[in-house]
Amino acid sequence: MTRSELIAQLAAENPHLRHSDVEAIVTTIFEEITATLSEGRRVELRGFGAFSVKRRDPRTGRNPRTGESVEVSGKAVPFFKPGKELREVVNGGPPQAGAPKPPARPAKTKA
């Protein structure tokens, strides 16, 4: 699923909203998360997961082609830790509240 497919699904589900509004909602959500992380703050969405920023220390790296040492400056990297409910959904466990239930499957071969 891409960003535009997500927007299309939401627009179909909410015919009373303008397409541009649906787009603005999705943009706002990811923009707020990005802005928060860039201030070094955490984002916590219970059930879904948490975004945080991890610091990488500066290190001496090597140019693999020439073998020269180069100073690699420290940097921040974004990190996502999925929440319990999302981990369960991914493993075919109980669906997240609000998520459509998967169709019931007949029980497998019972000898």
Partner 1 sequence: METLTRAQLVEAIYAQVGLSRNESAALLESVLGRMATALGKGESVKISAFGTFAVRQKSERIGRNPKTGVEVPIMPRKVLSFRPSQVLKARINHEPVGSALDEDS
Residue of 5, 32, 10 lying closest to 22 (CA atoms): 10
Nearest alpha-carbon partner for 3 in 37, 44, 31: 31
- Cα–Cα distances in Å, from 105 out to 28, 45, 91, 99, 108? 38, 31, 16, 17, 8
Name the residue nearer to partner 1 (CB basis): 102 or 106.
Answer: 102
Give min distance, CB of 42 to partner 1, in A. 4
Taking the C-alpha atoms of residue 51 and residue 83, their distance in angstroms, rounded to an integer, is 10
Shorter beta-carbon distance to partner 1: residue 13 or 68? 13
Question: How far is it, in rounded angstroms, from Cα 9 to Cα 72?
Answer: 43
Smallest distance from the beta carbon of 109 to partner 1, in angstroms? 20
Q: Which residues bind partner 1 (CB under 8 A)?
A: 1-3, 6, 9-10, 13-14, 17, 21-22, 24-26, 28-30, 32-49, 53, 75-80, 82, 85-87, 89-92, 95-96, 98-100, 102
In terms of CB distance, is 4 or 69 closer to partner 1?
4
**Residue 78 Cβ vs partner 1, minimum distance, rounded to whole Å:** 4
